[in-house]
A and B are shown apart, each in its own frame.
Chain A
Amino acid sequence: MSKPIRVGLLRLVDSAPIIVAEAKGLFRAQGIDVEISIEPSWANIADKLTYGILDAAVMLPPLALAACAGLRGPKARLVVPMSLSQGGNAIVASNAAAASLTEGGAQPRLLLLEWLRSHTERPRFAVVHAFSTHNLLLRYWLASGGADPDRDIETVVIPPEQVVASLAAGSITGFCAGAPWGEVAERQGAGKILLGTSSIWPFHPEKCLCVGEAWAEANPGLLQHLLGAVLRAQILCDQPDEAEGIAALLADPNGLNLPEEACRAALPGGAGAELIRFYTREAWFPARAHAQWFLGQMKRWKWLDEMADLNAIAAQVYRPDLLAAAVEAEGLYAAAGLPELEGAAMLPMPDDEAFSPQLR
């Protein structure tokens, strides 16, 4: 066996496929040795992938794209050969804010403008990273309710494990974060889940597996085995029968040390408001249409300039071709059929794109 493949991840439920693949011996079954590195921040993941200190990592798709588009320094050379999960984030508000936003059982989006108008100071919302699915979906949702996220709220970045305490302490009005933190906020009485992000964009891609382009090119065999093991783990992660055991794995004090019940609630068959999917509905397929949507939102908010070639960036970073060998070797999908999946990728309803800020 050669030296281990170094895979980075954060303490989140959607890191499950890597944790499960290691615990169930799926990496070993592929003849590869994986060393898992639990990182404290997304910035660490991005930096370590860029400089080859990590070979692969569980990643936020918008951060991978932003790094490659040059939004956090020189353009990084990273590729996304597979998606890891769909859904699982929650938009959460303090109890008082949630009461105003859901008055009379209304959809929070409909009461959003009125609620914002009642504030003299901009309400403060936390996301886990500027270039996160969470931030882009929160902004998209606010805009679809007629608000301008740059003008009408203040956005702060707070590590996921600290959002619940910040909400309880009143230093933020709400947050958008991944599982299990929305569930934890409700269980601790710090706030209420307004909506799961799947109601904004059904089957939205959440985490992806990201690898350094140089590593992928130099190690096609290792990459295929890594992807094969992760695909097998994704299948397990999607089975409700397995969820209890997986929640226990995620709660291991020597591992991710996550709250077990809240993890169980976010896994398939769980009781949570928003569930994570890992495999079904081609959750594993890295559709370029998804990358284009994320990039389109970054252009919409003027993070990327008008001239940026979104299709070129999407094609450079999202590499379903790198997945072909693994899906075929595992007998999961005919490689020839992969391009068709591109057409089946779901996007949010285009109606919601009508963005006209109405406030003040």
Chain B
Amino acid sequence: MKVLLADDDAERAGAVARILAADPGLTVVRLKSGDSLADAVASLAPDVVLVDMARPDRDALDGIRQVAALNTRPVVLFVDEDDPAFMEEAINAGVSSYNAIGMPPPDVKPILRAAVALFRRHQQAHDDLKQAEGRLLERAVIDRAKALLIKQRRMSEPDAYKYLRRTAMSSARRIVDIAQDLIRELEGSGA
């Protein structure tokens, strides 16, 4: 069975391809970055197509039977009607699957399930990274506000931090938001 994998995230695509290649019955072909998804489906005639839902060219697979060249093997969106929760999970993970018409869904689902697991792990790692970056950024903002308080209001560093914390608590906002406002105010004053 031939699987076409359309995912421009090289690391994630590599991980999905490795997992699937462990099944000797599967041949995995990765779509080259910049290549047309519809052309690849026409020329490679895959049995299953796994697609990153962030790709705008996914629309080319909808109704491919209605519009595409006559030699294109029709593909349909894989849907497990008995398992809507799994379908939701796949969409939330950001991966969709198409298969050649007539392929029995039991053959397709394990392939999609493996992809969903990897996409989710990737998403989690991405979210963690974003959060870590966010925290670093927040610290930089708070440090900048402290520096301004020290310079312009002649506060000591502990006092500057206490001032930010007190203001945050009394207005029920986050310290970083208070710091942001303060930077705008003090830097805007041009002092």
Listed in ascending order, the chain A residues whose CB lies under 8 Å from chain B are 40-44, 46-48, 51-53, 63, 66, 71-74, 127-131, 135, 154-159, 161-162, 301, 303
Contact = CB atoms under 8 A, between A and B. Distances in A.
Given A43-B59, A66-B63, 9 more contacts: A43-B61, A43-B77, A47-B91, A51-B84, A128-B59, A129-B59, A129-B63, A131-B66, A157-B38
B64 interface: yes
Contacts of A47: 53, 77, 91, 96
A162 B56 contact: yes
A46 B54 CA distance: 14
A1 B47 CA distance: 47
A158 B61 CA distance: 11
Interface in B74-104: 76-77, 79, 81, 84, 87-88, 91-92, 96
Contact of A41 (B58, B81, B88): B58
A127 B58 CA distance: 13
B76 A73 contact: yes
A159 B56 contact: yes
B84 to A, nearest CB: 7
B69 interface: yes
Contact of B67 (A41, A48, A66, A155): A155
Contacts of B84: 51
B88 A42 contact: no
Contact of B56 (A41, A53, A74): A41
A46 to B, nearest CB: 8
Given A43-B58, A157-B38, A51 B67 contact: no
Interface string B31-74: 00000001000000000000001111111111110111100000
Contacts of B54: 40
Contact of A51 (B60, B61, B91): B91
Contacts of B59: 41-43, 128-129, 157, 159
A42 B58 CA distance: 8
Nearest to A149: B67
Interface of B: 38, 53-64, 66-69, 76-77, 79, 81, 84, 87-88, 91-92, 96
Contacts of B87: 51
A47 B60 CA distance: 15
A294 B84 CA distance: 29
Contacts of A46: 62
Nearest to B62: A43
B67 A40 contact: no
A130 B55 contact: no
Nearest to B94: A44
Given A73-B76, A73-B79, A157-B67, A131 B62 contact: yes
16 contacts: A40-B55, A41-B53, A41-B58, A42-B59, A43-B62, A51-B91, A52-B88, A71-B63, A72-B62, A127-B67, A156-B38, A156-B60, A156-B67, A157-B59, A158-B57, A159-B56
A271 to B, nearest CB: 28
B81 A74 contact: yes
Contact of A131 (B53, B63, B77): B63
A44 to B, nearest CB: 6
Contact of A40 (B38, B56, B69, B79): B56
A277 B88 CA distance: 35
Contacts of B62: 42-43, 46, 63, 72, 129-131, 157
Nearest to B80: A74
A53 B88 contact: yes
Contacts of A74: 79, 81
Contacts of A44: 53, 58
Closest 8 CB pairs of A and B: A130-B63, A159-B56, A157-B60, A155-B67, A40-B56, A73-B79, A73-B77, A130-B67
Contacts of B96: 43, 47
A158 B84 CA distance: 29
A72 B57 contact: no
Nearest to B77: A73
B161 to A, nearest CB: 31
